[in-house]
Every structure is written in structure tokens, then in C-alpha cells.
Amino acid sequence: MYKKIMVPLDGSTAAEAVLDHVRKIAGEGTEVVLVRIAAKPAYEYTLQEPQLSACLDEDAAGEAGQYLSEVAARLKRSGLDVSTCVLPEQGPAARVLEDYAHKATADLIAISAHGKPGLIGRLLGSVAERIVHHGRIPVLLVHP
């Protein structure tokens, strides 16, 4: 049985496909940690005003937190022990998630693959793929 399952979410329906599987494998005493990276909007990098940039960071973190709270409430109704964490973007998403999983002592990362088809998917890869291939924590990878 897992003690702590980390579930990265990006707000998409495809990412949430992993939640049904998490409900099935999370036993009594398992903590489920929902994680979202508060990505900075692309236009933020063109802003000259630091205060405006800081407000955008707060907005992104607030929206991410609200989203995670809503998902957590749904899972709690299923009887799961759920917590949430919004991570600031500080590098490649796979590395940020893997680092957090270690700090949080997660013993499983449950993530959904978005499955970008074709050449774009092969060239860009995915966060899930990078976690599977380079991570040190077991991964449950679900295809939506």
C-alpha cells in the first residue's frame, strides 16, 4: 500500500483521467497530494513593470490553488485524505515535479499522459514521459 501518492494536474480533463485510478489504489491511510505548477503567462516576460509581473504570479498561483481545492473536494467526498500544493515554476516541469515528490516523500507519482500524437509529440516529448524515464520514484502512467 502506498503512503503518499503525488498527482500532478494541469487543469485539463486529460490530466484528471488519472483520478479514477488513484481512487482505486489509495487505501486507508494513504495521503493523496494534488500538485499544480503555477506557470507564468508567456506575456509576463515582456512586461517592464515588476509589480505587474508579481501580480500576474499571484493570479496564476491563486487560480491554480482554486482549481486544486475544487478537485480535492471531489476526492474528499470519496473518502480520500487529500492535500494540495501549488508549485512556483522554476525550471522544466518534470524536474520541478520530481524534486517536489522527493521533498514530500511521495512513494508513487500518478500522472496522466496527454498523448500528443505524431511528430510534435515525439519531438517535444512530455512531462509524464520525462518523469517515467528519468525519475527515481515509481510512476503510475494513465492514458486518457
For 30-88, write each residue's pLDDT tens digit. 999 999 998 655 444 554 555 444 444 566 678 889 999 999 999 999 999 999 999 98
Q: Which residue has the higher pLDDT, 93 or 4?
A: 4
Give the pLDDT of residue 86: 94
Q: Given this model, what pLDDT does residue 53 score?
A: 46
Q: Which residues of 36-75 are buried (b: 16+ CB within 10 A; e: fewer)?
A: bbbeeeeeeeeeeeeeebeeebeebbeebeebbeebbeeb
In the 8-state DSSP scheme, what is residue 6?
Answer: E
Residue count of the chain: 144
pLDDT attached to residue 43: 46
Residue pointed to by grid coordinates 486518457:
144
Q: Is 131 exposed, middle or buried (0-12, 13-18, 19+ CB in 10 A)?
A: buried
Q: Does pLDDT of 97 surpass 80?
A: yes
How many whole angstroms separate alpha carbon 41 and alpha carbon 43?
Answer: 5
Distance in Å from the first CA to the final CA of the chain: 24
Q: How are beta strands 139-142 and 108-112 bridged, if at all?
A: parallel
* The three cell numbers locating residue 38: 503555477
Could you tell me which residues are beta bridge partners of residue 121? none
Could you tell me the pTM of the whole model? 0.83
pLDDT at residue number 124? 46
pLDDT at 22 over 80: yes
Residue 132 near residue 108, CB atoms below 8 Å: no
Q: Report domain extents, the chain.
A: 4-142
Cell readout for 69 is 481545492
For 99-142, write each residue's pLDDT tens digit: 999 999 999 999 998 755 554 454 445 888 889 888 889 999 99
What confidence score (pLDDT) does residue 123 get?
45
pLDDT given at position 57: 56
Given the candidates 3.50.50.60, 3.30.1360.120, 3.40.50.150, 3.40.50.620, the CATH classification of the domain at 4-142 is: 3.40.50.620
